[in-house]
Amino acid sequence: NAGVMQNPRHLVRRRGQEARLRCSPMKGHSHVYWYRQLPEEGLKFMVYLQKENIIDESGMPKERFSAEFPKEGPSILRIQQVVRGDSAAYFCASSPSSRSNEQFFGPGTRLTVL
């Protein structure tokens, strides 16, 4: 089992462009979580998804951010019209069920907005 995969590992965008971050959960895991880590901060929850459903998006900014976890393929975190403040490390985690409570983390995507 290769673990949670995230790509790209590093992403550079100019202000106003779109950023797409991908997360492939561990095999057999149907729950995906996205977290953001700003410099000098801890990880902050953004969104929790199951296949084709958003369960909890209480940590998502109201505008420009969206997430999906389609029936086939990876989960996608999409940031439209990026601004410098979006520069951060974005981590994805997965778990096999909501009761396991252990979340397995990916290596993260470091987004830099110029």
What does the binding site for other proteins look like in residue numbers (CB under 8 A)?
3-4, 31, 33, 35, 40-45, 48, 55-56, 58-59, 91, 95, 98, 101-108
C-alpha closest to that of 36 among 15, 65, 69 = 65
For residues 17 and 59, which CB has a smaller minimum distance to other proteins in the complex? 59
For residues 94 and 111, which CB has a smaller minimum distance to other proteins in the complex? 94
Distance of closest approach, residue 12 Cβ to other proteins, in angstroms: 21
For residues 18 and 56, which CB has a smaller minimum distance to other proteins in the complex? 56
Distance of closest approach, residue 43 Cβ to other proteins, in angstroms: 4
CB of 3 closer than 8 Å to CB of 95:
no
For residues 13 and 34, which CB has a smaller minimum distance to other proteins in the complex? 34
Phi and psi torsions of 49, nearest 5°: -130, 150
d(CA 30, CA 52): 10
Q: Strands 31-37 and 88-95: what pairing?
A: antiparallel
